[in-house]
């Protein structure tokens, strides 16, 4: 049975990490990320909002076409714990349907907006076939635009095999995030890390 908790890191001996980006797609910042990861020969996971896919479906299609993972971040970004269970189900299913229209594939992973989860929401995610994803670098708070150095200083200590990092490419100005991600990708590539999707990282979990 799937564990009823958020996955923040995958236990693995592989030198691999997953970069994840919430709240897109965005016509400027998502494109910048595609360029960063193309140059690094790596893949990332984009936790997209259904409404943003409606607005920028061509960007979502490009993300999928070049091999990145698109994951569920609900249809309109509510705190799921403040909805009825049926409302929460509708949020996930509507976003899921929109993502499948883009990818033609099942959606495997989910991140709750604001990390708003309880046992009911986690159980719902399992029922719908998702692994619920957290992050190791929540203290970086890139969504608050705290400065590039702040983002870096609160992400670097969380780096280890199997780390899942969270940043944002949608809803507002993300210039600081783009610069911080460029720096981190360069540093980690130099250290020999591979950049994989969340689903790929989950598949690297040590079975011992």
* Helix residue spans in 50-208 (DSSP H): 50-55, 57-65, 85-103, 119-127, 148-153, 175-190, 198-203
pLDDT for 1? 41
pLDDT for 2? 52
CATH superfamily label, 16-203: Glycoside hydrolase/deacetylase (3.20.20.370)
Instruction: Give the domain ranges of the chain.
Output: 16-203
**Vertex 126: Cα angle to 160 and 77 (nearest 5):** 80
Q: Distance between CA 206 and CA 208 in Å, rounded? A: 6
Tell me which residues are annotated as active site: 22, 168
Average pLDDT by stretches of 10, the chain with 208 residues:
82 97 98 98 98 98 98 98 98 98 98 97 97 98 97 98 98 96 98 98 86
How far is CA 105 from each of CA 2, 71, 96, 108, 202, rounded to the nearest angstrom? 21, 11, 10, 9, 18
- How many residues does the structure list for the chain? 208
For the question of whether the overall pTM of this predicted structure is more than 0.75, the answer is: yes
Q: Which residue has the tokens 């309880």?
A: 118
The DSSP H or E segment spanning 39 is helix 29-39
SS3 77: coil
């Amino acid at each position: 049975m799937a564990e009823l908790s958020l996955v923040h890191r995958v236990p693995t001996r592989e030198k691999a990490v997953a970069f994840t980006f919430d709240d897109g797609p965005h016509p400027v910042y998502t494109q910048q990320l595609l360029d960063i990861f193309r140059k690094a020969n790596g893949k990332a996971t984009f936790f997209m909002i259904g409404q943003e896919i409606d607005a920028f479906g061509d960007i979502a299609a490009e993300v999928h076409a070049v091999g990145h993972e698109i994951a569920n971040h609900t249809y309109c970004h509510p705190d799921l714990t403040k909805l009825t269970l049926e409302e929460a189900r509708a949020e996930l299913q509507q976003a899921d349907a929109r993502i499948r229209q883009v990818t033609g594939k099942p959606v495997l992973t989910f991140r709750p907006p604001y990390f708003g989860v309880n046992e009911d929401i986690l159980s719902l995610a399992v029922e719908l076939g998702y692994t619920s994803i957290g992050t190791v670098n929540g203290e970086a708070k890139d969504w608050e635009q705290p400065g590039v150095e702040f983002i870096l200083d609160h992400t670097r200590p969380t780096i280890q095999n199997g780390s899942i990092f969270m940043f944002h490419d949608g809803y507002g100005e993300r210039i600081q995030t783009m610069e911080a991600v460029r720096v981190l990708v360069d540093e980690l590539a130099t250290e020999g890390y591979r950049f994989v999707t969340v689903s790929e990282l989950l598949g690297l979990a040590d079975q011992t």
